[in-house]
Amino acid sequence: MIYKRPLIALAACLSLMATLAFLHSGTSTLQSAEKKPEAKIADADIKTFESVIKPFLDTHCTSCHGSTKSKGDVTLNNISAKLAIGKDLELWNLVLKQVVLSEMPPSKEKQPSASDVGKVIDWINAELNKSGNATSLYQKLEHPDYGNLVNHEKLFSGEIKTKPFSPARLWRTSPNVFDNIKSNYGGDARSIRQPFLVEDRKGIKEYANLLFADSAVVDVLLVNAGYCADQLIQKGQIYKDIASQKSAPTRDQLEVAASQHFKKVVFRDPTKEELKNYIALFTGSAKEGIHSEALRVMLMAIMMHPESVYRIEIGLGESDTSGRRMLSSTELAFAISYAITDRHPDSILLKAAESGKLRTKDEVHAQISRMLEDESIEKPRILRFFQEFFGYNQAHIVFKDEARSGGFSYYGENYPVIYERDADFFVLNILEKDKDVFKQMLTSDEYFILNRQTFRNTVFDFYEQNKELIDKGQLTEEKSKELLKRLGLKNWKELNKKYYLHGFDRGFNGSPEVIKKMGKEIPTEGRINNRNKDKSYQVISQGMHTLYQKYPMAYDLRDGEQNFLLPQPYKRPNRAGMLTHPAWLIAHSLNDISDPIRRGKWIRQRLLAGVVLDVPITVDATIPEDHHKTLRERLSVTEAKACWRCHEQMNPLGYTFEIFDDFGRFRTEETLDKLPMVKGKFPSKPVDSRGVLAGTGEKNADGDVKDALELIHKMANSDKVRQSIIRHVFRYYMGRNEMLSDSMTLIAADKAYLESGGSFKALLTSLLTSDSFLYRKTLTKE
C-alpha cells in the first residue's frame, strides 16, 4: 500500500550529484529492509513496463542517461524490467526519487504530464513492494532529518502553482498543552505525569506523523486516570454523591457527571451516543454492586477518550474544486490556538468559531493578529522554535569535565543550563524588537550574562540605592517599576518564567519587605568570593557567589572582571550571534573536544538547506588519537577522496568554529592538554580556522572565509540562508516537512518577512493564514 502524494509538474532525465546521494542512502536502507519471500518472475508486471515505463524513459531520460551520454554515471537505456525480483533496485530507487521530487527532467527540458508521472511512480512502487524492498523514500520525506530532500531552488522558483494544503491527519497532544490542561483532570497537578513525551533530541520535535499514542503513553494515562478518578470521587460533590448514596444514581446524575468531566478533558460536549455509552459502562459495572468503582471506571474511560490523545484535523469545512477541504471553525480555533500558545482556545476564539466568524482567511488573520499583539497571551512556542531550531537547549546534556575547564560547576548548578537561559534572553531581546530577526539571530552582539546571583545582586544594588525609602516601607510604585525595568520584566509574574531562580527566591514579588529581606541576606563576608576582602557594597554588588564564580568564563571574562548588574546586554568581542553563544557551542560539542563535523552538518542542513548523506554503514567514524596534533589535524583523515565527497559539505563550515574551545571560549591557540605540561603550561598550536562557504549560489556569500565570524556575517546576508530558516519555521508550525506543493506558501512567507523588514510576527501571520495551514486533503492510497 503506497500513499500517493499529489505531485506537480514532473519529469524524467536523470543526472549528477543528487544521484550519488540517493544511491548511497538507498543502499543502506535496502540492506536493512525486512527479508521477504522472493517474488517470482511471473509476478513482475513486464507488460506495463513495455507499454508505459520504457516509452517514458525513452522520451524523457535516455537522451542524457543512455548509450551515448550517461550524465552523472547514470544509464537507463538498459534498466531491467524485472524490478519485482530485485533487479536494478538501486537504480529504480534513484529514478523514483527524481520523479517524486520533480528533480528530473531539468526545468528547461520538456516536462511529462502529471498522469504519466503518476503511472511511473505507481509501477515502481508496486514492483518494489513485490521485491520485498519497499522504498524508504516516503518515510524519509516525512522525517525532519530529510526535509531538505525537497529541492530548494524549485520550492522558491515560483514555477509551482499547485494549491497548498496539509494532509488530513491526527496529531498527538503536545506535552506542553497537556501540562497546561492537566489540572482539568482533577487532583493535584504535581501527581499527574506527562504521558506525551517527545524524544529529547536536537531539532524540531513535534511532527504529526512521527508521534503515536503507544503503550508507553497508555501506561501513564492509566495511572493518571486512576489517580484523578479517585481524587474526583473524594472531592467533587456530584461524584461524591453518586459514590456514597445508597440508591442507584439517576440518569440525570450520571449524565451531568459524565458531561461535566468530558467537557473538561475533551473540550466539547459529548454526543448523545457517547453519553449513552458512558452510562451503559457505568450501569454494566455497577452490576458488580459498588457505585464508586463503577463511577471510577466511567471517569477513567472519559479521561482516555481518543480525542484527548489525538487532535483530529481532517478538514470538516467546505471543499473546493482542487479536492481540498478547509478546516472547520472549531478545528481552526484549536489549530490557531495550539500554533500560537500551548493552551486550548481562549473565549474570544471559541466565540468566533461558534458564531461562524472563523471561516475565511481574513477572519483567521484577524484572530492571529489579535493574539500576536495581545501581550497578556503567553506565546512560549515562539521561543521554543528558536530553542529547537538552534538546538542550544541541549547544552545541559553535554557533560564537561570540571577539572579540565578550570571550574565548570555541576555540583550546585549545571552551568550549561544557565547558559541556555542566557541564550533565551538573547533570543527574546531580538524578538522584542522584531526587526531583521534572522539576521540579528546570526549576528547580534547583545548578550545576556545572567545567573541566580545576578538577580540577587541587582536587587541588592537597588536596595542599597533606595535604602531609606525601602527601610521605611515608603517605596513608591514608580520606584518599584524601576526595579522591574532593570530586570527586564513587565510584571512580577514574569519573574519565574524568565529567570531561573533558586527555590528560595521564587516567591520574590518586589514588595519593600522582600527587597529588604534579600538585601540583608546577601552575605557581606565569607561566601562572596573576591580576592578583595573589603566588605564594601562595591565589592558585594560585583562579586560572584562561589557557585557562579567561573560561570562568566565561557564569555571570555575572568573572575570578577565585570559587574553583572542588570539591565544588560553586554557586548562581547569575537562573537557574532547565536552560533557563537556558549550555549550553542556547548550543545554542539563533544565531552572534551569541539565538533567541527556535526557543526558543519548543522549549518549545511539548517542554514543552507543542504542535504548531507547518511553515514555509510561501512564507515568507522572515529577520530584517530594523536596527542601532538590539533583536532583539525586529526580530522584530516576525512579528506581522503572517498570521505571528502560528503565531508566537503561539512568540514569547511565546521572548521571555522575552531576559534572556540569546547567550552565556548575564544582562542587563538589550541591547547594540547594530553601532553605533559612544560613549565606549568600545556603545549599548544595555533588554531587554523580557515573555511569555505559554498552552496548559497550567491556571489557575495560563497567563497573562502578566515573564521566563523566572517562565515556568519556572510550567511546573515544570504537569501538562501533566510529561506532555509523559513523552511524550518514552516516545519515547526505545520508539524511536517514541506512538500513541493507548499511552494506558494513558502514564497509568500518569505515575501511577508522581507516586506515587513524582517518581522517574525509577519512571517508567522503569513504562514498561519496560508493554504498549507488552512486546508486539508485526504491522501489517496492504493
Smallest gap from residue 168 Cβ to another protein (A): 5
Question: Based on CB atoms, which residue is closest to another protein, 417 or 469?
Answer: 417
Question: Based on CB atoms, which residue is closest to another protein, 65 or 169?
Answer: 169
Question: Based on CB atoms, which residue is closest to another protein, 200 or 468?
Answer: 200
- List the end-to-end C-alpha distance of the chain, in Å, as a whole number: 5
Question: Based on CB atoms, which residue is closest to another protein, 70 or 778?
Answer: 778
CB 740 within 8 A of CB 159: no
| Helix, strand, coil % in the chain, rounded to nearest 5 | 55, 5, 40
Question: Based on CB atoms, which residue is closest to another protein, 447 or 775?
Answer: 775
Question: Based on CB atoms, which residue is closest to another protein, 87 or 193?
Answer: 193
Smallest gap from residue 322 Cβ to another protein (A): 17
Smallest gap from residue 176 Cβ to another protein (A): 14
Question: Based on CB atoms, which residue is closest to another protein, 138 or 537?
Answer: 138
Q: 12 burial class (0-12, 13-18, 19+ CB within 10 angstroms)?
A: buried
Residue closest to 395 by CA, chosen among 410, 383, 382, 378: 410
d(Cα 221, Cα 215) in Å, to the nearest integer? 9
Smallest gap from residue 559 Cβ to another protein (A): 22
Most distant CA atoms of the chain, gap in Å: 97
Smallest gap from residue 778 Cβ to another protein (A): 5
Question: Based on CB atoms, which residue is closest to another protein, 1 or 42?
Answer: 1
Length of the chain: 782
CB 572 within 8 A of CB 582: no
d(Cα 241, Cα 253) in Å, to the nearest integer? 9
> How would you classify residue 316: left for phi > 0, otherwise alpha for psi between -120 and 50, otherwise beta?
alpha
| Other Cβ atoms closer than 10 A to 772 | 26
| Other Cβ atoms closer than 10 A to 607 | 27
Smallest gap from residue 441 Cβ to another protein (A): 26
Smallest gap from residue 17 Cβ to another protein (A): 25
- The secondary structure of residue 131, as a DSSP letter, is T
* Cell numbers linked to 466: 533606595
Question: Based on CB atoms, which residue is closest to another protein, 293 or 363?
Answer: 293
d(Cα 492, Cα 172) in Å, to the nearest integer? 34
Question: Based on CB atoms, which residue is closest to another protein, 113 or 591?
Answer: 591
d(Cα 524, Cα 533) in Å, to the nearest integer? 10
Smallest gap from residue 645 Cβ to another protein (A): 28
Place of cell 439517576: 250
Residue closest to 670 by CA, chosen among 596, 597, 560, 599: 596
- Pairing between strand 3-4 and 780-781? antiparallel
Helix (H) or strand (E) holding 169: strand 169-172
User: In DSSP terms, which residues pair with 777 in a beta bridge?
Assistant: 167
* Cell numbers linked to 745: 506558501
Q: Is the bond into 105 cis (omega within 30 degrees of 0)?
A: yes
Question: Based on CB atoms, which residue is closest to another protein, 478 or 620?
Answer: 620
| Other Cβ atoms closer than 10 A to 17 | 10
| Other Cβ atoms closer than 10 A to 501 | 16
d(Cα 314, Cα 81) in Å, to the nearest integer? 39
Smallest gap from residue 2 Cβ to another protein (A): 6
Rg (the chain; Cα; Å): 30
Smallest gap from residue 172 Cβ to another protein (A): 7
d(Cα 458, Cα 464) in Å, to the nearest integer? 10
* Cell numbers linked to 737: 516537512
Smallest gap from residue 136 Cβ to another protein (A): 7
Smallest gap from residue 295 Cβ to another protein (A): 10
Smallest gap from residue 549 Cβ to another protein (A): 18
Smallest gap from residue 38 Cβ to another protein (A): 16
**301-326: string of b/e by CB count within 10 Å (b at 16+)?**
bbbbeeebbbbebebbbeeeeeebbb
Question: Based on CB atoms, which residue is closest to another protein, 3 or 644?
Answer: 3
Question: Based on CB atoms, which residue is closest to another protein, 439 or 776?
Answer: 776
Backbone angles phi, psi at 741, to 5 degrees: -70, -10
Question: Based on CB atoms, which residue is closest to another protein, 229 or 566?
Answer: 229
